[in-house]
Amino acid sequence: MSGNAKSNNSYAGKSNARYLILAILFVTTVINYIDRSALSVAAPIMKEDLYLDAVKLGLAFSAFNWAYTFFQIPGGWLLDRFGARKVYGIGLFVWSLFTFFQGFVGSFLTLFLLRFIVGIAEAPSFPANSRMTTMWFPQHERGRAVAIYNSAQYFGLALFTPVLAWLLQKMGWNYIFYFAGGIGMILSFFWFKLVRDPSDHPRVNQQEINYIKDGGGFADAGEKKTKVKWAHIRLLLTNRQMIGIYIGQYALNTIVWFFLTWFPTYLVQEKGLSIIKVGFIASIPFLAAFVGGIIGGFVSDTILKKGKSLAVARKTPIITGFLLSSTIVLANYTQSTVAIIVIMSVAFFAKGLAGLTWTLVGDMAPKELLGVTGGIFNTIGNIAGIVTPIVIGIILSKTQSFSGALVFVASILLVGALSYIFIVNKPRRIELPEESLPNTKQAV
């Protein structure tokens, strides 16, 4: 029976520790994206000091994603094996430390290596976010929960991009990395103090655990261990619904990594804006994406509560977001700075709407393999983080213009919309074969 179907009296006096966990995920995701985007803010000045041309800068941007992408599945396995508290908390400290070290780099090779290590440490982050919201929130609250932590990235970028730009102009590019890395290391100590699984959290009572479980959450998932087999991986890679959301996530990350890597350089080089103006102007699309993400989550949960199917509730804002994001190409047809920022803001607002893709991971993943499923999803999605910076760097090198880059981004977004329209049909949870589950002869 769902949590919605039961009387609220059944959960009278329930604690609300899940909101504390969501707040921590929000703040951690803010730090996550500040560290990811620090190089893009520093790049217009840093590239001169390190003698980086467009191709080398594209490679430096992509270094994070080489590691981040290919360590997704190992990171997901670690989450299922050791839990989000340990894996995510250690990762937070490590990626912040190596972001701090980027303030001392003097060569392309060192920069590439440090960004690579940051990518390894951040790899479990979004699978962990997905795992924790699936454990802590009933299905009818999960769209909002995912929207809130997913929108944190844009809130952080909107808030801190002007701060990083100010540091760049007043103190030098080194201090961007000192600031971004330092606050992450401090946060990691609060993480270990406040984060637990629902069944082990001192602020959770039984009523809240019942509320989560009755609503389709996995409050006791941390207690069960499942040995990951190749048959499981094959199932996750061949399921039609999963293939559809994998394609969609790749498409969605194309616009994300344009904004996280080349967007400040686009404003400086293509539009001739100053560093300080770039800092403030670049924050506007991020703020729009934050608003879009929150709206998308609430719209989805509202549709679900009105009795519509999970497919309608999740796919409506996602497909709308994809189609609207592709309007980024319109920036090629105006020279007005105001018009360009409006176009970019609309496109990234729409990306926020489409950010509910992570909700479907929690809705569809086998409950025993939340981490691995999120890892595969994010692996395929973040191949875009490797491809996009390099392709845009090559386009820029060949044409000396960003026009082709915006056409490239818009085209991939349309592919994402088509994937959700024609491949993702009716999302439902994948069930593992009985013989592979814990407490059977083949289980370990």
DSSP output for 363-432: HHS-GGGHHHHHHHHHHHHHHHHHHHHHHHHHHHHHHSSSHHHHHHHHHHHHHHHHHHHHT--S--PPPP
Rounded distance between C-alpha atoms, residue 220 and residue 196, angstroms: 12
Using alpha carbons, select from 421, 422, 428 the residue that is nearest to residue 322: 421
Residue tagged 């780099």 (tokens): 105
Instruction: Please name the residue ranges forming H helices in 50-138.
Output: 54-70, 72-82, 84-101, 108-122, 125-136
Using alpha carbons, select from 374, 392, 310, 281 the residue that is nearest to residue 142: 310
Q: Are 212 and 136 a contacting pair, CB within 8 Å?
A: yes
Rounded distance between C-alpha atoms, residue 94 and residue 89, angstroms: 9
Give yes or no for residue 214 having a pLDDT over 80. Answer: yes
User: Is residue 334 helix, strand or coil?
Assistant: coil
116: pLDDT confidence band, cut at 50, 70 and 90? Answer: very high
Q: What is the pLDDT of residues 67-110, one digit of tens each?
A: 988 898 888 888 878 888 899 999 999 999 999 999 999 888 99
| Counts for the chain of helices (H) and strands (E), in that order | 18, 0
The average pLDDT across 316-343 equals 93
Give, rounded to a whole angstrom, the gap between the first and last alpha carbons of the chain: 31
Helices 370-399 and 125-136 sit at what angle, rounded to 10 degrees? 140
Average pLDDT, the chain: 86
User: Position 197: which residue type?
Assistant: D
Q: Are 99 and 38 a contacting pair, CB within 8 Å?
A: yes
Q: What's the pLDDT score for residue 435?
A: 57
User: Position 329: which residue type?
Assistant: V
7: pLDDT confidence band, cut at 50, 70 and 90? Answer: low
Give yes or no for residue 2 having a pLDDT over 70. Answer: no
Using alpha carbons, select from 164, 140, 137 the residue that is nearest to residue 30: 164
The average pLDDT across 303-319 equals 88
Q: What's the pLDDT score for residue 199?
A: 83
Q: What is the pLDDT of residues 133-176, one digit of tens each?
A: 988 898 888 888 888 888 888 888 788 888 888 888 889 899 99
Rounded distance between C-alpha atoms, residue 373 and residue 417, angstroms: 22
Helices 17-49 and 174-194 sit at what angle, rounded to 10 degrees? 160
Q: What's the pLDDT score for residue 417?
A: 96
Rounded distance between C-alpha atoms, residue 364 and residue 205, angstroms: 27
